[in-house]
Structure 1
Amino acid sequence: MTPEELNAVRGRIVPDVATDGLRVLFCGINPSLTTAVTGHHFAHPGNRFWPVLHRSGFTLRRLRPAEQGELLGLGLGITNVVARATARADELDAEEFRRGGADLTAKVERLAPQWLAVVGITAYRTAFGEPRARIGPQVRTIGGTRVWALPNPSGLNAHWTVQTMAEEYARLREAVTDRPSRPTGRPAAGPALTD
């Protein structure tokens, strides 16, 4: 991708991979420019979401970003706290995160997944006004949906390796039941949030 192609997609919205009644709705911070160009979540080559998802046992093989639609059959989905694509998450301000948290809450109330898994503790803290939140299950619920904060799989998050992230994601997988909270199959309605 050329710098011009990447620059042209700033602010683009990438549709969610979501339906109602999922086991886990993974929630990224916001779409990267690579995601905006490809239309596939967590598409930047340095992002470790797909290998971590596999190593944690959520998928039987490592999916490619272009195979994101296969997640729905596994009861998994993807959305974002903030919808617009940027080159870096630090281009977003606290108010944008808070508005994203309100939009995300409405989306989760509508889709009713078992778990909302926010992949980025700083984004979770800011979006939900919980400055002391730590990685792991949260006290907060959204309707009947439980919330888990996971490490951000960005390659820039050097404090976490693929293996240590996979271990944390596996803790969530073990907490998830096989029974969906509602029947799946109806695509998400309303405005999309993205990775």
Structure 2
Amino acid sequence: MEPEESPAARGRVVPDVVAGGLRVLFCGINPSIMTAATGHHFAHPGNRFWPVLHLSGFTSKKLRPSEQRMLLDYGLGITNVVARPTARADELSTEEFRQGGRILAAKVEELRPAWLAVVGVTAYRTAFGDRRAQIGPQERRVGGARVWALPNPSGLNAHWTVETMADEYSRLRSAVDEQVREDSKP
């Protein structure tokens, strides 16, 4: 049986990759069954998170899902809006997203990342009740962090290519770098 088909994977909790004071906390929608089976975020072979992260300049090399802990060396981390693994995000209820948004806000308040990057604008809209949110920086802060909605890197998101996603992730990286420069001024 493939890990993606494993009923046991559906009940697994995938641990966050987090630390206090991150530059960016990336927030996925929820773990895929493959992610639950492996314990590695964005593990499905069709997911483009890892190549996009590298192409956008956040990492100096393309990391494999099994190297996810190396993100901490770059001041980056990963969590999810909803912890429950599913084969598709549309298996989640609106209430799960809203509850996940409340949990995420508390987590961000505790960890204090400079930026929260939600990878999936629809998930962001649902979790935080912002129906008009678009890809890019958001006006609201969550748990004190600045917020950026990014395209979902799932292979199911055919509207975005690796290149166009990398361009959007690069916009976030530039904003993060600019904030670091501003914060370091006397």
Class of the TM-score when normalised by the shorter of the 2 chains: over 0.9
* Residues 3 and 37, structure 2, Cα contact 8 Å, conserved in 1: no
* Residues 48 and 154, structure 1, Cα contact 8 Å, conserved in 2: yes
Residue matched to 1:30? 30
* Residues 5 and 37, structure 1, Cα contact 8 Å, conserved in 2: no
Question: How many equivalent pairs are there?
Answer: 180
Give the TM-score taking structure 1 as reference length.
Answer: 0.89
Q: Stretches of 4+ moved more than 6 A in 1? A: none
Give the TM-score taking structure 2 as reference length.
Answer: 0.93
Residue matched to 1:41? 41
After superposition, the C-alpha distances for 1:108-147 in whole angstroms (9 at most, x for unaligned) are 0000100000000100000000001000000011243100
Q: Which runs of 5+ in 2 are unaligned?
A: 181-186
* Residues 49 and 153, structure 2, Cα contact 8 Å, conserved in 1: yes
| Greater RCO (Cα-Cα under 8 Å, separation 6 or more) | 1
Residue matched to 1:80? 80
Residue matched to 1:108? 108
Q: 1:72 & 1:4 partners in 2: Cα distance?
A: 27
After superposition, the C-alpha distances for 1:62-107 in whole angstroms (9 at most, x for unaligned) are 0000000000010000000000111111110100000000000000
What's the CA shift for 1:2?
2.0
Q: 1:64 & 1:163 partners in 2: Cα distance?
A: 19
Residue 16 of structure 2 aligns with an amino acid whose one-letter code is D
CA RMSD of aligned residues (A): 1.6
* Residues 116 and 146, structure 1, Cα contact 8 Å, conserved in 2: yes
What's the CA shift for 1:46?
0.2
Residue matched to 1:51? 51
Classify 1:4/1:103 alpha carbon distance in 2 versus 1 (closer, same or farther; 3 Å): closer
- Name the structure with the higher helix share: 2
Residue matched to 2:142? 142
Residue 114 of structure 1 aligns with an amino acid whose one-letter code is A
* Residues 136 and 148, structure 1, Cα contact 8 Å, conserved in 2: yes
Q: Which runs of 5+ in 1 are unaligned?
A: 180-195
Q: 1:4 & 1:130 partners in 2: Cα distance?
A: 32
Classify 1:94/1:169 alpha carbon distance in 2 versus 1 (closer, same or farther; 3 Å): same
Classify 1:8/1:119 alpha carbon distance in 2 versus 1 (closer, same or farther; 3 Å): same
Identity %: 75
